[in-house]
Amino acid sequence: MHPDVEKILLNEEQIKERVAQLGRQISQDYQGESILMVGILKGAMIFLADLVRHINVPTFFDFMAVSSYGAGTVSSGAVRILKDLEKSIHGRHVIIVEDIVDTGLTLQYLVENMKARGPASLKICTLLDKPSRRKVAVPVDYNGFSIPDEFVVGYGLDYNERYRNLPYIAVLKPEIYQI
């Protein structure tokens, strides 16, 4: 275990099993279609990479980078586009892939933004959901795990850009968040 980690909330095995289930579910739901997976950088990168290896319908990729948090653990609510989609999503079956839905502000912005581009359908897939922190309602179609209100890192999620490469989801020691 990483020395900065206080406890592991979801271990590698739990994540692996649930991600495979989600992939199978998506494959069933999109039989006969092709999917455009829109990964939201940077947090969703690890989840997206693992998820799509369990999807067996034609799958295409694009990415958006937005930032709401900046440094620290609290959402500012202000969403900025750092990188936009490369291609039109008009007429495509789009799934937005996120690592976590917290206040919902990032996804609210993304859903409105992408709906305006005329996709054939638009769904949301997130690895983690923190329902207790929600400020705006967002329709989550695929959710890996609902978690309590603790600041988590690993498997793509960062604290001040660190810890994204941990293979599990963990809570850091309190003294780390104070630095």
Q: How many CB atoms lie within 10 A of CB 67?
A: 15
Size of the site for Mg ion (CB under 5 A): 2
Contact 38, 89 (CB under 8 A): yes
Taking only Cα atoms into account, the Rg of the chain, rounded to an integer number of angstroms, comes to 16
Q: CB 58 → ligand PRP: shortest distance, Å?
A: 26
Q: Which of 50, 99, 102, 129 is catalytic?
A: 102
CA torsion angle 165 124 72 170 (round to 10): -40
Q: Is 102 a catalytic residue?
A: yes
Q: Does 41 contact Mg ion by CB under 5 A?
A: no
| Choices 4-12, 52-60, 64-72, 97-105; region in contact with Mg ion by CB under 5 A | 64-72
Query: Is residue 43 within the footprint of Mn ion (CB under 5 A)?
Result: yes
Q: Please tell me whether residue 106 binds ligand PRP under the rule CB under 6 A.
A: yes
Under the criterion CB under 5 A, does residue 158 sit at the interface with Mg ion? yes
The answer to whether 105 contacts ligand PRP (rule: CB under 6 A) is yes
62 binds Mg ion (CB under 5 A): no
Q: Where are the alpha helices (DSSP H) in the chain?
A: 12-29, 45-51, 105-115, 174-178
Q: Are the C-beta atoms of 167 and 173 separated by less than 8 Å? A: no
Q: Which of 88, 87, 85, 101 is nearest to 141 (CA)?
A: 101
In the list Mn ion, ligand PRP, Mg ion, none, the entry touching 75 (Cβ below 5 to 8 angstroms by class) is ligand PRP
Please list every residue from 12 through 71 that binds ligand PRP, using CB under 6 A: 40, 42-43, 67-69
User: Is the bond into 115 cis (omega within 30 degrees of 0)?
Assistant: no
102 binds ligand PRP (CB under 6 A): yes
Active site residues: 102
Residues that bind ligand PRP (CB under 6 A): 40, 42-43, 67-69, 75, 98-106, 158
